[in-house]
Structure 1
Amino acid sequence: MGILDKTYYYFIGAGGIGMSALERYFKSIGKTVLGYDKTPTELTSALIEEGIEIHFEDNTDLIPAEINQENTLVIYTPAIPKDHKELNYFFDQNYEVLKRSEVLGAITKHTYAIGVAGTHGKTTTSSILGHLLKVADLESTAFLGGIAENYHSNIILNGSKYTVAEADEFDRSFLRLSPKLAIITSDDADHLDIYGEREEVKKSFQEFGSIVEEQLFVRKGLNFPNSKTYGIEEGADYDGVNVRIEDGFYVFDVNTPNGTLKDIKFQLPGRHNMENAVAAIAVADYLGISSEKIHEALASFIGVKRRFNRFMIHDKVYVDDYAHHPTELNAVIRSLKELYPGKKLLGIFQPHLFTRTRDFAAEFAESLSELDELILLDIYPARELPIKGITSKWLLDMVNLKEKSVYSLEEALPAIQSKDFDVLLTVGAGNIDTLVTPIKKWLESEA
């Protein structure tokens, strides 16, 4: 029996963004989906409403009696600790237990798979591309690492001939895919707790590039053999040019090997997002999607949750973003400075992982020094134990700002309410997103 022929699909780490896309996929094809996660979240609540059973206690007694080694596939994320009771039970009882990346690889293997890889930019790019294929009515499914605002979901379902898969470099997961086409948005160092050396990250991306069967598209400046390049005003194979802003939209042309696409309208701010759009356009052009459908899709794409989500509330601007790497932070802060010159920018940043904070401390400090004022939250540990000496206070001391402070997540809202600002940014990949609704409610009440 193949892994797609089971009756039950049991997920350990069911609330993970990549895991939940697979849960929704199996649910959509009539399977029974269930599992465990550590804590309830907005996402787990949505999954439960959709008919996916999730419990929040690591307890083997909560595993239903009707599942067995023959009828069940167990899927887990590498973020699960090795002493997890349920996971070890399934191993001990000889269930078929696979990592998320192995399952994604199996689902996409017999489709025309398009992988979107990169240390940053892959979620937005894969969401734009998934939306583009849907608008063009290609039989396609897109597995995303974020919630696409057009669909309020991290999966776009429209058939199985084509698949778009966010190709994750963590744990070298992307090497389990079999892509016909692929995009690489960046190959900056990250996940050094896995890779050790920065050069190893680049090697892994090179290996991913080498398994692409037909065509690889990379951002101009990256060095990959046999690739087509994309960029903004860089003389790339697919080059965004003549950039201007009209009625709140970016408008630009794209020079392609097949001619020029004129007057593309796109509403996400920032040069980095335009680059992501051009990457998706490059694949669409390669697949022969019409200019009309490309224009329609780009103009109607409204973004990804926690990727530069912007709220205009009274006289304040509030932006929430998932950025957790210095390059991403630079892009977000640069976009805000460009959009709101002369306005006071208060940033609240939650570092993600002790190892990442340690490995990129100097780069983080340089990025954060571009703010006007900084509130730094405690480090979000995720899968890690504390590292002696690596704290938010340690990082704060490196930031070149007069107005800077450290607070816990619980102390953050009162601290924000005491500050003077024109533009507010909450940023990070941990649980800082729990501040979004309280901040919006507070700003709305401040008439």
Structure 2
Amino acid sequence: MTNYHFTGIKGSGMSALAQILHDLNENVQGSDIEETIFTQKPLEQKGITLLPFSRDNIKNGQHVIVSAAYGETHEEIKRARELGLQVDVYPEFLGSFIKQFTSIAVSGSHGKTSTTGLLAHVLGSVEPTSYLIGDGTGKGAANSTYFVFEACEYRRHFLNYSPDYCVMTNIDFDHPDYFKSVEDVVSAFQTMAKQVNKAIIACGDDEHLQTLQANVPIVYYGLGDHNDFQAKSIKNTPEGTAFDAWVRGDLFGSFVIPGFGDHNVKNALSVIALCHYEGIGYEDIVEHLKTFAGVKRRFSEKRSGKQILIDDYAHHPTEIAATIEATKKKYRDREVTAIFQPHTFTRTKTFLNEFAEALSQADHVYLCDIFGSAREEKGSLSIEQLQALVDGAKLLTEAEIETLKGHGESVLLFMGAGDIQKYQKAYEALVESSS
């Protein structure tokens, strides 16, 4: 048994990895800031010790795993070096850890978390499967055949991995604080493609993914006729979305998924393609695609009085457009009211016009102040600049949250990657206190 200490354990990937090692009967503890973050709840439920940052946390005999957000100047890492302990940065440790399984990385600018969760659910219902999801969820299963994990392109972290398979959902320009252009993002994925050992499952509807060169087969999926795996006859049903999957021109079978919107169909197709490649039976795929309950902060729904409240992590224009589309397909008879909190000044400035275009698909739009990152300068950008580009958009503060009660039987769609949840919680508390 190894004694692991996680420096920065509340990070989503770190939290998930700590849970996995705990499930595999390793000794795990960790430290972080004292502010409550949603990723700590599963750690507390498993009885994993959480400590405030301190050099005194570091003891002889520990293997220290450090979040990529912290460097050599951190007090705990300095102490670990003084004691001569093994110290691994999270992506490096994960890159080594996955080698004991049939590893499946899920990468892409959008849809990674939902696809990782769906793939882990389907495979894990058939074979012992460990998984690491970017929403802070991790599970270690004894004698796992598969290890499914979210592989993020930010700062090219995913180049620490050489997986057996890689699912690539799409390539889009994001993280403008690091990537210089969409071509820069493509170059990162191209490097990743050369590191895959068995096969790449890529969305063929994405023009950038079609340009990839690899040393292994690339299996394409999507809605276009040119794909190896194609979805046809897509229909909305009371249970979700029904579609037929065709494999290289032959009907493979019919499927139903609980989600709505073309992006969810494509995510499901990637799972079907991977499972087909690995020889998982059709009946198993059909049964387990139907029962996926979703992942945290991805179209999480609840009722509040006559309204539907949806919490979603969407923070890029492409994601916002997809989430609004899915909401309109599911709730055709309701108005959609978008409450959006931009995440980082860099991203907001880069995609100002694209944000405005995506948000304009909603019936009503409220904008919360920009949630900045500690890594960036605020500059001269303000939320009013985005407001000016969206017809009828209003600004919203927590103090004005009661305004949302005026939207009758609307769907209230709370979107963002910052602390947008505090607005929803404040609204829920208000509705409860006045009912």
TM-score, length-scaled by structure 1: 0.88
Deviation at 1:414, TM superposition (A): 3.7
Deviation by residue 1:128-178 (Cα, 9 ceiling, x = unmatched): 111111111x2321111126xxxxx43363633321111110121111112
Deviation by residue 1:172-199 (Cα, 9 ceiling, x = unmatched): 1111112111110011111221222331
Deviation at 1:338, TM superposition (A): 2.9
Residues 384 and 391 from structure 1, CA distance in 2 versus in 1: closer, same or farther, beyond 3 angstroms? farther
SS in structure 2 of the partner of residue 146 of structure 1: coil
Q: Are residues 1:251 and 2:242 paired?
A: yes
Residue 386 of structure 1 is matched in structure 2 by 377
Q: Is the 8 A contact 2:346 2:376 kept in 1?
A: no
Distance in 2 between the 1:297 and 1:178 partners?
28
Residue 239 of structure 1 is matched in structure 2 by 230
Residue 159 of structure 2 is matched in structure 1 by 175
Residues 45 and 337 from structure 1, CA distance in 2 versus in 1: closer, same or farther, beyond 3 angstroms? closer
Structure 1 residues without counterparts, runs of 5 or longer: 148-152
| Letter of the 1:198 counterpart | V
Distance in 2 between the 1:432 and 1:31 partners?
35
Q: Are residues 1:164 and 2:154 paired?
A: no
> What is the aligned length?
427
Identify the match of residue 203 of structure 1 among 172, 187, 190.
Answer: 187
Residues 158 and 382 from structure 1, CA distance in 2 versus in 1: closer, same or farther, beyond 3 angstroms? farther
Q: Is the 8 A contact 1:353 1:384 kept in 2?
A: no
Worse-matched range after superposition: 333-342 or 123-132: 333-342
Identify the match of residue 271 of structure 2 among 256, 271, 280.
Answer: 280
| Letter of the 1:433 counterpart | Q
Residues 156 and 129 from structure 1, CA distance in 2 versus in 1: closer, same or farther, beyond 3 angstroms? farther
SS in structure 2 of the partner of residue 239 of structure 1: strand
Q: How does 1:307-318 map to 2 (within 5 A)?
A: 307-318=298-309
Q: Is the 8 A contact 2:20 2:140 kept in 1?
A: no
Q: Are residues 1:401 and 2:391 paired?
A: yes
Residue 77 of structure 2 is matched in structure 1 by 87
Residues 403 and 193 from structure 1, CA distance in 2 versus in 1: closer, same or farther, beyond 3 angstroms? closer
Residue 287 of structure 2 is matched in structure 1 by 296
Identify the match of residue 40 of structure 1 among 23, 36, 41.
Answer: 36
Identify the match of residue 421 of structure 2 among 427, 430, 433.
Answer: 433
Q: Is the 8 A contact 2:24 2:140 kept in 1?
A: no
Distance in 1 between the 2:341 and 2:71 partners?
22
Distance in 1 between the 2:109 and 2:273 partners?
19
Residue 92 of structure 2 is matched in structure 1 by 102
Deviation by residue 1:190-242 (Cα, 9 ceiling, x = unmatched): 12212223311110011111211121111113312342111135442111112
Residue 150 of structure 1 is matched in structure 2 by none
Identify the match of residue 53 of structure 1 among 49, 54, 67.
Answer: 49
Residue 155 of structure 1 is matched in structure 2 by 139
SS in structure 2 of the partner of residue 30 of structure 1: coil
Identify the match of residue 29 of structure 1 among 1, 4, 24.
Answer: 24
Identity of matched residues, %: 31
Identify the match of residue 297 of structure 2 among 269, 291, 306.
Answer: 306
| Letter of the 1:425 counterpart | L
Residue 64 of structure 2 is matched in structure 1 by 74
Deviation at 1:361, TM superposition (A): 1.8
Residue 169 of structure 2 is matched in structure 1 by 185
Identify the match of residue 129 of structure 2 among 131, 136, 140.
Answer: 140
SS in structure 1 of the partner of residue 274 of structure 2: helix
| Letter of the 1:30 counterpart | N
Q: Is the 8 A contact 1:393 1:406 kept in 2?
A: no
RMSD: 2.4
Q: Is the 8 A contact 2:367 2:393 kept in 1?
A: no
Deviation by residue 1:50-73 (Cα, 9 ceiling, x = unmatched): 1211123x3324x15xx22xx222
Residues 82 and 400 from structure 1, CA distance in 2 versus in 1: closer, same or farther, beyond 3 angstroms? farther
TM-score, length-scaled by structure 2: 0.90
| Letter of the 1:107 counterpart | F
Q: How does 1:400-419 map to 2 (within 5 A)?
A: 400-407=390-397, 410-411=398-399, 413-417=401-405
